[in-house]
Amino acid sequence: AQSVTQLDSQVPVFEEAPVELRCNYSSSVSVYLFWYVQYPNQGLQLLLKYLSGSTLVKGINGFEAEFNKSQTSFHLRKPSVHISDTAEYFCAVSGGYGGATNKLIFGTGTLLAVQP
């Protein structure tokens, strides 16, 4: 079975500082990896996803993530955060088994709290 671990439930950071949100996954087959963001009182929206190819994936709003197969990780980074980046960030995994019944498995989320 697939699973996702986000070890940090909350990451406080000052504005304009760099940030890394950690995500580790567990799967016995190849996977696809996603980062979604949920702004307060809103639905989730995709930041970026890794399907194949280059292990460094660039997303919206200046975020990027690196797929590391040997460490089964997909950490999200941003070199300089803004107040507006304050949100809940979810790592998710899918795929590997083929077919229409593949589903997204979400981690428990990391609250990025950007302080002035």
Partner 1 sequence: DTAVSQTPKYLVTQMGNDKSIKCEQNLGHDTMYWYKQDSKKFLKIMFSYNNKELIINETVPNRFSPKSPDKAHLNLHINSLELGDSAVYFCASSQGEGLDYSTDTQYFGPGTRLTVL
Considering beta carbons, is residue 9 or 115 the nearer one to partner 1?
A: 9
Residue-by-residue DSSP string for 8-45: -SEEEEETT--EEE--EEE-SS--EEEEEEE-TTS-EE
Quote the CA–CA distance of 112 and 11 in Å, as a whole number. 5
Considering beta carbons, is residue 11 or 95 the nearer one to partner 1?
A: 95
Minimum CB distance to partner 1, residue 94 (Å): 4
Quote the CA–CA distance of 5 and 43 in Å, as a whole number. 21
Minimum CB distance to partner 1, residue 80 (Å): 26
The residues of the shown chain that bind partner 1, judged by CB under 8 A, are 32, 36, 38, 41-46, 49, 51, 88, 90, 94-96, 98-104, 106, 108-109
Considering beta carbons, is residue 19 or 105 the nearer one to partner 1?
A: 105
